[in-house]
Amino acid sequence: MFPSKVIGFALNSKNASEFEAEKVRARIKEKHCLPVCDVLREGSDELVEAILNYKKKIIPA
């Protein structure tokens, strides 16, 4: 296996309250300084943006 670069996190908040989910999202974001998307509640836009920005960085136009 080869190491992978982590560029963001997708949070599964299905069984959490909105308050609990936001608390976890904020904690992960602060700890890792990376985007954390609660895809079920807020969509994946922030994570998609991180992926596209990373792609531009490693594969210049």
Give tens-digit pLDDT for 32-45.
999 999 999 999 99
pLDDT at 4: 86
Residue type, 60: P
Asked if pLDDT for residue 1 goes beyond 80, the answer is no
| Model confidence, pTM | 0.79
C-alpha angle 11-36-10 in degrees, rounded to nearest 5: 35
- The answer to whether residue 1 sits within a structural domain is no
- The answer to whether residue 18 sits within a structural domain is yes
Instruction: Give me the helices (H) in 1-61, please.
Output: 18-32, 39-42, 45-58
Instruction: Return the bridge partners of 37, or none.
Output: 10
- The answer to whether residue 49 sits within a structural domain is yes
Number of folded domains that form the chain: 1
- The answer to whether residue 23 sits within a structural domain is yes
- The answer to whether residue 33 sits within a structural domain is yes
- The answer to whether residue 3 sits within a structural domain is no
- The answer to whether residue 4 sits within a structural domain is no
Name the DSSP class of 33: -
The whole-angstrom separation of Cα 41 and Cα 54 is 24
pLDDT at 53: 93
| Domain hosting residue 14, numbered range | 9-58
Asked if pLDDT for residue 47 goes beyond 80, the answer is yes
